[in-house]
Amino acid sequence: MRTMGLDVGSKTVGVAVSDALGWTAQGVEIVAINEEEADFNMKRLGQLIQEYEVSTVVIGLPKNMNNSEGPRAEASRNYGDLLTQHFPVQVVYQDERLTTVQAERMLVEKGDVSRKKRKKVIDKLAAVLILQNYLDAH
């Protein structure tokens, strides 16, 4: 069984999965959602959970720098609740402070990734970083 990492936003969810041994994280895709219309695209997440035989989902928890939780952390927890209602997976949360900044920096340092292209992959890369941090800690 594999582990899936999610970077949950209001419009997209970046998705990453572990290798079969649980050592490395690879980006899979960015799933479109519409938080305002309560369309969280559980159908696509379910397909990915089944395809990759996922048993644990790691959701990035965007805490504030003072370790408090704001509205985005609450939205991430709500997304985790939805996942457990729909699928037989364990949901855990991983502090994701600065992962999007780290992902942006990695893409900028690469040098040949335009701002438009960065926007298309940043959530997936953030999901990879969230999952890899979790895998390294466990």
Per-residue pLDDT band for 40 (boundaries 50, 70, 90) equals: confident
| Structure confidence at residue 10 as a pLDDT band (50, 70, 90) | confident
Confidence at residue 25, expressed as pLDDT on a 0 to 100 scale: 96
Task: Give 96's pLDDT tier (boundaries 50, 70, 90).
Answer: confident
Cβ 73 vs Cβ 81: under 8 Å = no
Q: How confident is the model at residue 15 (pLDDT cuts 50, 70, 90)?
A: very high
Distances (CA, A) of 117 to 27, 79, 122, 125: 15, 26, 9, 12
Q: Looking at the structure, give the CATH architecture of the domain made up of residues 2-137.
A: 2-Layer Sandwich (3.30)
- Cα 117 from Cα 125, distance rounded (Å): 12
Mean of all residue pLDDT scores within the chain? 86
Q: Considering the entire predicted model, what is its pTM?
A: 0.84
Q: Which amino acid is at 91?
A: V
What confidence score (pLDDT) does residue 39 get?
A: 73
For residue 111, the 8-state DSSP code is S
What are the boundaries of each domain within the chain?
2-137
Residue 51, pLDDT score = 96
